[in-house]
Structure 1
């Protein structure tokens, strides 16, 4: 297996050559085989061991075993302990998810602090098959059937091409000692049930099942690559990014066969889960929306608008004192006194400075707000009616700010100035306000 493993690294993981690699080592057979292999191939290695404190003294015996091995073989070793159950309870997640979060966060810290290049884990072909069957049993998309990736950023899994039987044969041949995890014998966890009862039957039906499975996953990966390419091409036709917001043209989207599949490909990475609700948005009325933990998908006329959730208090106000030259939050505004005016625009206004009462206030608009649009002498207009006339999306409305003097609106910023602050023949002091 050593020669086969060396050839596998040269063919598929040549980027590891000459790098410092950190080996995630539990003390079990698989991880100890990985350590042994890389030792004998003379890689510059370190060992990282997590004690999750889930199996009482057994967890601490694993920790002692790994530490002693590292010391005896003069390998740098890093050990940490987690109160995994408390972490899981605090964040309302399963113990398995908590352990995964804790260990990978720590691994990435070690990469940075100890100057290692990659983390290597000992996942093998049987682990990959088990993950496939778990995902299949729960219901999954194509990406869930591809299984465990050989590389995920700085995490590398060089043993995925090797079976559990090969690992065990190598360990016995070379007299490698390891620790048995007593929890692996229990059928409490779904993975163990599949490992103990389903996988043996599949191998009994077809002794070369792992090889056949590996080929099938290769075909699935090719299909996923093709799907990804198609999703990118169609995205460029349907989606229009604008700042932090992405606009999906529903007229173009609905002309696509299987448009739901494209929506899934585009939105899956943003953490959405309620797919039926998302698909219903396509034909729903404007104003309907679906949330993920960090994003919102909003139906607005003939578009779906994807935007991040801002933890902003809509009642937040910002004061501007007299003679202040600029504002950087929440918008970039500049203020300067001028002798005359040029042609104004939506982003630049000229006001009679003597009509202003300080401090000026920047705030969001509220229902019922009204102002007197520039050029409409004596006529009032609701801000909501202005938005309707300008055909603003809901997100554009939410992002609109008002510049106010006392309670009077001076400027619906970026849209329209108020008539009452305009420059007149008797104006002595002109203030230019510009949205950068």
Structure 2
């Protein structure tokens, strides 16, 4: 019979997780899983270990100190380095609207990567085992997440791989091994508290499902394996490149190239676009951004966007997490976050360039009579008795008289007739004189501000875009 130690080593070699000459950061709680993990690593010749313990601060100081003493004593007996760090789980839970469980999970993920870099470790090792696969799968089903993202033996998404060499072993095997080798470990009382969702799944729901179907674990694994295969097929069937554009005020992606695809393929592309947009907006490279970006996108939301796209709808269609409003216009999906922070205005001084959002604007007084006062895309001429000039975004209350017309019209209505989409209308700049809209860049001058030979004073406006939208590509080739 193959020993657990031999199976453990064979799994590491077969999965190519890490080698004996690499320095490893072990996520170490002092519980049975991490004790078994650290002991087996040392026993198999992986001697360059750093044990990292996180104090979550949700238990009594006395209980936490007992665990810390055990961690330090265990590390000393193994001849390896131990590190103890406190993490503000309760604060993060309140600050970012996450559960205590989720806060601890995401903080550990981010800080494991941080300390792995700090201590020059080449791989992160965690004690996830076979039973954790079932729990994760059931949790995904309960949350209704969009696509399968099960635990794997190695995750190479970050600069330092996260490895899970115990995934082929059950909790029972781990406990039996600890008993046979007379290894002590800590017992965290919070792991038994069914107030926490994962504990309720572990101690109540999964045992009930196994009572109904003794082969539940096998069936669940097979189901998620089929989902992964289906997702791989979707990716392999997509050969388009989807562009996601990032402006200062919103994001948008053109879906014309994938509208003819199946509903499942279209949903996959939309899901990928949403994830990219949120990662850019929330700046998930920072710890604050990373914590803010941890949420599930319900599959129903992805389906709603896909259905409305295929039906050719326009306008606002759905709200996503983090206050993101989704709009459709001409087969493009627009993502708009907090629009209020962009509403402002800037004073324009004569002869001085002013930067407003993504534009540079300058107004100059014309002292000489010009032969022609034709406005263009980036230049306009207007007359005015006042030099109270501002640039701001248009508002729903703005009216103006388009050049050559007699009656006024709402500015937003005029922009819509010029095929300016909803998101662009929210942030469309205008030059105002004494609170009256005088010019809509690239479109039209207010008729009352037009220049003619009888004008006493007239001005030239120069208007330029500072940068083009940033383009991100989603490639499925």
Find the residue that maps to 2:83 and give its secondary structure: strand
Corresponding residue of 2:398: 369
Once the two structures are overlaid, the 10-residue window that deviates more, 391-400 or 311-320, is 311-320
Which residue does 1:98 correspond to in 2?
Answer: 103
Gaps of 5+ in 2: 279-295, 466-477
Of 230, 246, 257, which residue of structure 2 is paired with 1:223?
230
C-alpha deviation, 1:277, in angstroms: 5.8
- For the pair 1:193 / 2:220, whether they are aligned, the reply is no
Across the aligned residues of Structure 1 and Structure 2, the Cα RMSD in angstroms comes to 4.1
The Cα shift of 1:123 comes to 0.3
| 1:34 counterpart = 2:22 | no
Equivalent in the alignment of 2:460? 431
**C-alpha distance in 1 between matches for 2:31 and 2:56:** 14
Deviation at 1:26, TM superposition (A): 0.5
**Higher relative contact order (Cα pairs below 8 Å, separated by 6+ residues):** 2
Cα deviation, residue 318, structure 1: 1.0
Decide whether aligned partners of structure 1 residues 327 and 37 sit closer, same or farther in structure 2, where only a CA change above 3 A counts. farther
Aligned to 2:132: 127
Change (3 A) 1:42 1:279: closer
CA distance in 2, matches of 1:172, 1:2: 14
**Which of 296, 305, 315 lines up with 2:333 in the alignment?**
305
Structure 1 partner of 2:472: none
TM-score normalised by length of structure 1: 0.79
Q: Counterpart of 1:180?
A: 187
Partners of 1:336 and 1:89 in 2: CA distance = 49
SS at match of 1:328: strand
| Per-residue deviation, residues 92-121 of structure 1 (Å, max 9, x unmatched) | 433212222332333233234444344321
Q: Would you say the 8 A contact 1:373–1:418 is kept in 2?
A: yes
Q: Does 1:68 align with 2:73?
A: yes
Matched, 1:394 2:422: yes
The alpha carbon displacement at 1:25 in A equals 0.4
Counterparts of 1:343 and 1:115 in 2: how far apart (Å)?
66
Shift of 1:166: 3.7
Q: Following superposition of structure 1 onto structure 2, how do residues 102-113 of structure 1 map, counting pairs within 5 Å?
A: 102-113=107-118
Bigger shift: residues 1-10 or 419-428: 419-428
With normalisation by structure 2, the TM-score equals 0.73
SS in 2 for 1:246: strand
Name the CA distance, whole Å, in 1 between partners of 2:229 and 2:80. Answer: 39
- Seen in structure 2, the aligned counterparts of structure 1 residues 107 and 266 have a Cα distance that, compared at 3 Å, is closer
Shift of 1:62: 1.3
Q: Which residue of structure 1 aligns with residue 5 of structure 2?
A: 2
- For 2:78 and 2:190, the matched residues in 1 are separated by 28
C-alpha displacement at 1:289, in angstroms? Answer: 3.0
Give 1:50's aligned residue: 54
Rate the CA distance shift 1:138–1:42 in 2: closer, same or farther, 3 A: closer
Q: Distance in 1 between matches of 2:38 and 2:137?
A: 26
| 1:290 counterpart (297, 318, 322) | 318
Q: 1:348 to 1:177 in 2, by over 3 A?
A: same
Distance 2:33 2:433 in 1: 71
Q: Is the 8 A contact 2:336 2:423 kept in 1?
A: no
Contact 1:240 1:246 (C-alpha < 8 Å) held by counterparts: yes
Structure-2 change in CA distance of 1:30 and 1:258 (3 Å): closer
Distance (Å, rounded) in 1 between the aligned partners of 2:372 and 2:8:
74
Q: Which of 238, 246, 251 matches 2:252?
A: 246
Determine the C-alpha separation between the residues in 2 that align with 1:35 and 1:356.
80
**Pair 1:272–1:8, CA change in 2 (3 A):** closer
Q: Aligned equivalents of 1:150 and 1:311: distance in 2?
A: 40
Tell me the alpha carbon deviations over residues 194-243 of structure 1, each in whole angstroms, 9 at most, x when there is no partner: 5873476589x46xx8677656644432222223344x54774xx77575
62, 77, 83: which is aligned to 1:78?
83
The residue aligned with 2:439 is: 411
Aligned residue-pair number: 425
